[in-house]
Structure 1
Amino acid sequence: MIGSQYNGAPGPGQIHTQEFVEVLASTELQARIPGGVLLAKGNGVIKKGTVLGRVTATNKFVPYLSSASDGSQVAVCILDNDQDTTLTDMGASAWIAGIFTESKITGIDTAAKTALKLCYFV
């Protein structure tokens, strides 16, 4: 890089890219849980579009797992944005209704589709 390229000022710095993943197939019909959800720490980065279940003992949300027996085996909602839960519990926004692109949803199965009564998958 030539110093005069930016009139002696520092250049733009390191370039980072971020993938934007849209999981909604339509914005016509959608609803989020009022007040959001509390994601339990220790689950690493949970990606937008992940189906969430609620652990009964703590009322905290974790990625849905149909084989679990702690309450998280019941799908409750779909995460609205990536969240890093590695070190701490995180508040987050989550959909309870909407029209979603099924191939962009993580953890969706027949039982989750049945539990997410107000979510439609295309």
Structure 2
Amino acid sequence: MLSTQYNGAPGQREIGTQEFIEVLASTDLQARLPGGVLLAQGNGVIKKGTVLGKVTATGKFVPYKASASDGSQSAICILDNNQDTTLTDIGASAWIAGIFDSSKLTGIDSAAKTALKLCYFV
């Protein structure tokens, strides 16, 4: 379709939906990691609410994995928006403090809860 068919306005497009998931149980007492994080390429779409660890060798963040031995076995923060790392490293923001709904977090376990000292879980 040509844009002239709609007097210069964009033409018809497919309508999509987006699911909004709130991982914060309260908007009080929240803080983000200053400067954000650099998510490592190759982890696909990382969902909001994913617990992140930092790979020691690269300084890049990946989803936390308790059984890892590359540094990502230590929970550092929680991602605050979906990010697609399929093709490239990408900057993102992440929480280091807040009150979170545990049932809506990805990768949370007792060790992560202990490591995330400024976070409270309900």
TM-score, with structure 1 as normaliser: 0.90
Partner in structure 2 of residue 52 of structure 1 = 52
Q: Distance in 2 between matches of 1:86 and 1:13?
A: 25
Partner in structure 2 of residue 76 of structure 1 = 76
Task: Letter of the 2:32 partner, please give it.
Answer: R
Q: Distance in 2 between matches of 1:84 and 1:31?
A: 23
Q: Distance in 1 between matches of 2:11 and 2:88?
A: 35
Q: Distance in 2 between matches of 1:48 and 1:88?
A: 18
Residue 14 to residue 70, structure 1, CA distance change in 2 (3 Å):
same
Partner in structure 1 of residue 103 of structure 2 = 103
Partner in structure 1 of residue 28 of structure 2 = 28
Give 4+ residue runs of structure 1 displaced > 4 Å after superposition: 9-12
DSSP-derived class of the 2:14 partner: coil
Task: Letter of the 2:76 partner, please give it.
Answer: V
Residue 11 to residue 95, structure 1, CA distance change in 2 (3 Å):
same
Listed as ranges, the gaps of 5+ residues in structure 1 are 1-5
Q: Distance in 2 between matches of 1:44 and 1:27?
A: 28
Listed as ranges, the gaps of 5+ residues in structure 2 are 1-5
